[in-house]
């Protein structure tokens, strides 16, 4: 039996406002409409991995509030096991305020809520309860506290699972953490920030030297680049006219994890992930509207 994708990350309630153009600093722009959707990098990745055919378990935290009930119901509707999501009484469910213009570009403001409260000890206990094996892949992203992210990576690696980090937003982690990674998936600004270099390929090579596997740089409409030692493989994206780019990177990561767990090679899995991420720009919000949306 194929292993699971275990996602450690954020869970948010999204509010999306469509506007004719993104506001500049101090400027008010009147939007056309507002929509309530489901989000959080971790939850979006979990749903994408499930839709790509993987068995998925979500590890994270929400508040003990009405928003949490909706977020957990949406995960269940998509087929994600949320038995390792904590409901915390001392913090609200995370909320994201998203502004999207008519070209599909966006601005996002996040109140992390319970995502910021989930502790390193709690995430280690939750991963222990998952009974990880070497067939599993643990996908971690950076919307949790840095200590919690580092603890998740170390715990997953010690349990024998492959570990994939989507370093969004980009920030340094504890010494030795990157050496435990099987895969790192930054976008262009993130790989530049993490390596302190402007050349994207050189930055990816620098980071890959400190991990156990390749670095895959997502490049928006240009697709993705797989950097593994001296080898660089570019995977182009299919042409499309975006409606909303929110969550496309999350779809990429979720699909990539699912295809790797299914046994596909890195190039084939990346090609599938790029294609699905491009498709994700054709709807408003981070997930297909029919999947657990109100």
Could you tell me the strand order of the sheet in which 81-88 lies? 81-88, 55-63, 4-8, 137-141, 162-166, 183-184, 215-218, 224-228, 231-235
Q: What is the pTM assigned to this prediction?
A: 0.91
Pick from 40, 38, 37: which is nearest to 9 by CA?
40
Q: What whole-number distance in Å separates Cα of residue 168 and Cα of residue 218?
A: 12
Active-site residue, 134 included: no
Q: Which residues of 279-290 are buried (b: 16+ CB within 10 A; e: fewer)?
A: ebbebbbbbbee
* Sites in the chain below the pLDDT cut of 50: 292-294
Query: The domain containing residue 148 runs over which residues?
Result: 4-10+40-91+114-280
289 in any annotated domain: no
47 in any annotated domain: yes
Q: Which of 81, 157, 244, 250 is catalytic?
A: 250
62 in any annotated domain: yes
34 in any annotated domain: no
Number of domains into which the chain is organized: 1
Q: Is residue 124 within a helix (H) or strand (E), and if so which, with residue range? A: helix 120-129
Pick from 214, 264, 274: which is nearest to 240 by CA?
274
Q: Which pLDDT does position 32 carry in this prediction?
A: 78
Find out whether 200 and 182 touch, Cβ atoms under 8 Å. no
178 in any annotated domain: yes
Give the domain CATH number at 76.
3.40.1190.20
Q: What whole-number distance in Å separates Cα of residue 144 and Cα of residue 135?
A: 25
| Tens of pLDDT, residues 143-186 | 999 999 999 999 999 999 999 999 999 998 887 999 999 999 99
Scan for tokens 């722009």, then name that residue. Answer: 29
287 in any annotated domain: no
């Amino acid at each position: 039996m194929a292993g699971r994708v275990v996602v450690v990350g954020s869970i948010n309630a999204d509010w999306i406002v469509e506007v004719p153009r993104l506001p500049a600093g101090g400027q008010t722009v009147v939007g056309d409409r507002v929509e309530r959707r489901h989000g959080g990098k971790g939850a979006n990745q979990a749903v994408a991995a499930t839709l790509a055919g993987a068995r998925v378990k979500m590890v994270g935290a929400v508040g003990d509030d009405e928003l949490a009930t909706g977020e957990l119901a949406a995960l269940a509707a998509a087929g994600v096991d949320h038995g390792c999501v904590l409901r915390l009484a001392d913090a609200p469910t995370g909320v994201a305020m998203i502004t999207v213009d008519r070209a599909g570009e966006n601005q996002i403001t996040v109140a992390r809520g319970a995502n910021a409260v989930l502790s390193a000890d709690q995430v280690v206990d939750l991963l222990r309860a998952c009974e990880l094996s070497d067939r599993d892949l643990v996908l971690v992203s950076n919307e949790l506290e840095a200590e919690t992210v580092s603890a998740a990576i170390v715990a997953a690696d010690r349990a024998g699972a492959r570990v994939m980090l989507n370093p969004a937003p980009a920030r340094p982690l504890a010494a030795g953490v990157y050496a435990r990674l099987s895969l790192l998936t930054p976008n262009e600004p993130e790989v530049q920030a993490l390596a302190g270099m402007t050349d994207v390929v050189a930055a990816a090579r620098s980071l890959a030297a400190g991990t156990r596997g390749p670095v895959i740089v997502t490049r928006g409409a240009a697709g993705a680049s797989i950097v593994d030692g001296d080898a660089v493989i570019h995977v182009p994206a299919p042409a499309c006219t975006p409606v909303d780019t929110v969550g496309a990177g999350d779809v990429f990561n979720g699909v990539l994890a699912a295809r790797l767990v299914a046994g596909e090679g890195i190039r084939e899995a990346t090609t599938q992930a790029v294609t699905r991420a491009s498709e994700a720009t054709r709807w408003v919000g981070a997930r297909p509207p029919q999947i657990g949306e109100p």
